[in-house]
Amino acid sequence: MRLAVVGAAGRMGGALIRAVTEMDGVELCGAVERAGAEAIGADAGVVAGIPPLDIPVTDDPLPVFAAADGVLDFTAPSATRGFAELAAQARCVHVIGTTGMTEEDVEAIRPAARHARLVKSGNMSLGVNLLAALVRRAAAALDEDFDIEVLEMHHRHKVDAPSGTALLLGDAAAAGRGIDLAGHSVRVRDGITGARERGDIGFATLRGGSVIGDHSVILAGPLETLTLSHHAQDRSIFARGAVKAALWARDRKPGLYSMADVLGLAD
């Protein structure tokens, strides 16, 4: 499967290029960055910290998408909206790891799923998707006497909060409880907030250093607390998951899929 990486010079872009060159059944066919990026014209391998691949990073996605069977996209919401349209036109698989997308952003990419296969997830690792399935189960088993709080920490460069993974875990908890996350989430607390509302799902965000991604879901009940956690040790877990998602989606019908679908964890 011929895969292109967009956002090639980013932290995840490098991890994706390395994963594509290391994994079976896939080859890198192009690397795209935004116009004006320092990496334009540089070799994609060198940009990713590996030997040259003879693939220059370009700011023109059109010929790259035309030659690709799939596109791996961990960029920014506005960029991902544009790439979804291009991927649908080129009929290639679009794997979206970009986080911080609003409801409006998600609605904007939905039409692309009529013609193309999209896999979108706030976290592409096996561990976090399994954690989400466990959180759903725990939230279903425990009633509202157990307060649910999602705690996350990421490196100092991260621009969105709470993380896509924290929201994915919050969604899993809400699904387990049979409620809508939007109507029950508390994303910020400051000052005299009043007592915690029964049934709320709270979020707390930490930022610092080079932390790749730590998440805990705390279910705090009367006299006992259950904590379910995941610690990411390397970005390659997300990159390898993205490549697996592309391979999985290749033979599917057009649609918008999640990583839980890819891993067989959806119900």
Residues annotated catalytic, as ranges: 154, 158
69 contacts 3 by C-beta, under 8 angstroms: yes
Q: Which of 30, 70, 122, 170 binds ligand NAD (CB under 6 A)?
A: 122
Instruction: Write out the two tokens for 247.
Output: 């391979």
We find the least distance from the C-beta atom of residue 120 to ligand NAD, in angstroms, to be 8
Instruction: Write out the two tokens for 44.
Output: 């994609």
We find the least distance from the C-beta atom of residue 242 to ligand NAD, in angstroms, to be 7
Instruction: Write out the two tokens for 5.
Output: 């990486």
Q: Which of 4, 5, 12, 219 binds ligand NAD (CB under 6 A)?
A: 12
Q: Is 211 in the site for ligand NAD (CB under 6 A)?
A: no
Radius of gyration for the chain, computed over Cα atoms and rounded to the nearest angstrom: 19
The values of phi and psi at residue 122, to 5°, are -70, -10
We find the least distance from the C-beta atom of residue 37 to ligand NAD, in angstroms, to be 5
Which of these ranges, 8-16, 46-54, 110-118, 178-186, lies near ligand NAD under the rule CB under 6 A?
8-16
Q: How far apart are CA 99 and CA 261, in angstroms?
A: 18
Q: Is 249 in the site for ligand NAD (CB under 6 A)?
A: no
User: Contacts with ligand NAD in 136-165 (CB under 6 A)?
Assistant: 164
Q: What is the DSSP track for 100-124?
A: ---HHHHHHHGGGGGTSEEEE-S--
Q: Is 166 in the site for ligand NAD (CB under 6 A)?
A: no
CA separation (Å) from 191 to 188, 202, 218, 251?
10, 15, 22, 52
Q: Which of 100, 127, 199, 254 binds ligand NAD (CB under 6 A)?
A: 100
Which residues would be at the binding site for ligand NAD (CB under 6 A)?
6-7, 9-13, 32-34, 37, 74-76, 79, 97-100, 121-124, 164, 238
